[in-house]
Amino acid sequence: MAGSLIVKNIETYYGPIMAIRGVSLEVRAGQIVTLLGANGAGKTTVLKTISGAMEPQKGSVDLDGEPIVNLDPDVIARRGIAHVPEGREVFPFLSVEENLLMGAYSRKDKGVRNDLHAVYDYFPVLLEKRAQAAGFLSGGQQQMLAIGRALMLAPRIMLLDEPSLGLSPKYVAEIASIITRLNQERGITVLLVEQNVKVALDISEYGYVMENGRIVMEDTTERLKQATDIQEFYLGMKDEGVRGGRRWKQRKTWR
Amino acid sequence: MEVLQILISGVSQGCVYGLIAMGFVLIYKATEMVNFAQGELMMLGAYLAYTFINVLGMSYIPGFIATVISMAIIGVVIERGVLRPMIGEPPFAVLMITIGLGFILRAVAGAIWGTETKTLSNPFTGSVARISDLSVGYENLAIIVGTLTLCVTFYLFFRFTRLGIAMQAASQNQLAAYYVGIPVKRIYSLVWALSASLAAVAGVLVAPVSLLEPVMGFIGIKAFCAAIVGGFGSLPGAILGGLIVGVAEQFANLYLPPGIAATTAYVMLLVMLLVRPQGLFASIQQKKV
């Protein structure tokens, strides 16, 4: 199961507003790559452009060497890209199990039952609540359901948009460990957008930083953690001078 | 006994409203647009049945089936040709398109079949079932039984089949349906097929009771009231709303001064919107902001 993704120079608009100003990034098969950036930087738009929910004006997106740009989102999903959107988009009036089975709607193979059991193994709480309407689950459980449903697609690559948004620290840790396990045990490539920068840097190998619709920095997460900009802007570490103030020269902005 | 008699004719009238209302609700739930040509689809179904049975000389049941199948195809053609290019346009524009579609269908039917009334030959007319003191026309029985059968079929379809559940999924969360690989556009076409064939069934069933004429589709407006009374967006609500409106209309016909009965559906619509705007079965989800 491969799952390499090459995004080249995409430009995406919301009406007249240019949300993505030429973004290129690469996710190699089997990697976990994270996309960081402040609110409104365009991270979600990049994911939507990859999964086909938005069409770019320019640029290309290749999945394992095949161009997928301008295909319908359901076609792209069937090609093996599972997008877990921000805000736990479940089917609220369907039961948990129906939600999961809908994840495998396009599959005809015999592995669906196995994958259902695998999802219940990863998320035992879903097995407990399998007959309940998904709308009645808690936020964290809905997030697990959304990830589980994406897993049912047997994807080559998963796009995760803010999986820890609004979750308690316990759920954040659990979801982070599940993402790592999915990557290692099932070989699923992951492109992760996350507000919780510390967690994101901990579980991924490589990272991109976005500002105002552009990539402004990219490196291995080891080195990103050392970068002073990342430390200041995202991890809240401040290097305070002897006099307790900061020199004006160090104060910089990307805006 | 008289009350019971009126109740039965009200129920049979209400079933027709309910069937058309279900067509409204199906399309609304799946695609979030209101198809004001639903009544005209019913009219078209009735005329197609007339063509198959009276003109081409097919017998009733095969003619019925042929009508339903051709209406399903017409539904798909309308969705593909007229509604799909409107994706992303403002809801008001889509609504105007469906109203225009209604006008066109009426005009086309008038041009093909003529504006004078026609009668669909059917095996029911004239025969009356007697249950103790009640006498019920077979055409009314056919409407009630047909509606019941359809309701059960629809329930089973939406509850247990993969396609039915996928239709629910696409209506509950369109974007998520796309993301899990459900072919949402094809589902929309199928919803239109389903809704048009529902209209066809309503048209064939109602034809023995009322006469065929191009303006018979105006009944769709009353069905629209019924759908709102039942709670727009709920299939059981559509049937129940239809029954309530149908029964109330028959009673108004008998007990109120002449002419008032024609306004019953609209009065009920106004009252319902004032008292309980979400309808009897409030199933529409609050839109997330």
In which band, very low, low, confident or very high, does the pLDDT at A134 lie, cut at 50, 70 and 90?
A: very high
pLDDT of B151 higher than 60 = yes
Eight-state DSSP code of residue B173:
-
DSSP A49-116: HHHTSS--SEEEEEETTEE-TTS-HHHHHHHTEEEE-TT----TTSBHHHHHHHHTTT--STTHHHHH
Q: Give the integer Cα–Cα distance in Å for A189 and A29.
A: 6
Residue B235, min C-alpha distance to chain A (Å)? 14
ipTM of this model?
0.86
Q: Among A53, A77, A94, whose Cβ lies nearest the Cβ of B165?
A: A94
When divided into structural domains, chain A yields a total of 1
Residue B54 pLDDT more than 80? yes
If you write DSSP's letter for every residue of A24-45 in order, what string do you get?
A: EEEE-TT-EEEEEE-TTSSHHH
The 3-state DSSP class for residue B127 equals: coil
Record: contact A152-B180, CB cut-off 8 A: yes
User: Residue B58's CB: how many other CB atoms inside 10 A?
Assistant: 17
Tell me, letter by letter, the H, E, C secondary structure of A117-165: HHHHHHCHHHHHCCCCEHHHCCHHHHHHHHHHHHHCCCCCEEEEECCCC
Q: pLDDT tens for residues A182-214?
A: 999 999 999 999 888 889 999 999 999 998 899
A174: domain CATH number is: 3.40.50.300
Contacts of A105 in chain B (CB under 8 A): 162, 166, 180-182
Does B280 contact A at CB distance below 8 Å?
A: no
Please tell me the predicted confidence (pLDDT) of residue B287: 42
Residue B165 contacts A where some CB pair is shorter than 8 Å:
yes
Q: How does pLDDT run across B161-209, given as a tens digit for each residue? A: 999 999 999 988 889 999 999 999 999 999 999 999 999 999 999 988 8
Q: Is A102 in contact with B177 (Cβ distance < 8 A)?
A: yes
Q: How confident is the model at residue B91 (pLDDT cuts 50, 70, 90)?
A: confident
Alpha carbon distance A228, B60 (integer Å): 81
Q: What is the pLDDT of residues B7-35, one digit of tens each?
A: 998 999 999 999 999 999 999 888 888 89
Higher pLDDT, B31 or A176: A176
Domain that holds residue A215: 5-90+155-233
Local confidence band at B96 (pLDDT 50, 70, 90 cut-offs) = very high
What are A21's strand-pairing partners?
A11
Q: Residue B180 and residue A153: Cβ atoms within 8 Å?
A: yes
pLDDT tens per residue across span A47-68: 999 999 999 999 999 999 999 9
Q: Does residue A193 lie within any of the structural domains?
A: yes
Q: Which residues pair with B42 in a beta bridge?
A: none
Tokens of B104: 């066109």
Does residue A243 belong to any structural domain of this protein?
A: no
Query: Is residue A52 one of the residues assigned to a domain?
Result: yes
Q: What six digits make up the tokens of A22?
A: 């030429």
For residue A128, being part of any structural domain is answered with no
Give B288's pLDDT tier (boundaries 50, 70, 90): very low
Chain A and chain B share a number of CB contacts under 8 A equal to 77
pLDDT band at residue A26 under the 50/70/90 scheme: very high
Q: What is the pLDDT of residue B289?
A: 35
pLDDT at B127 over 80: no
Q: Let me know if residue A149 belongs to a domain.
A: no
Test B169 with A94 for CB contact under 8 angstroms: yes
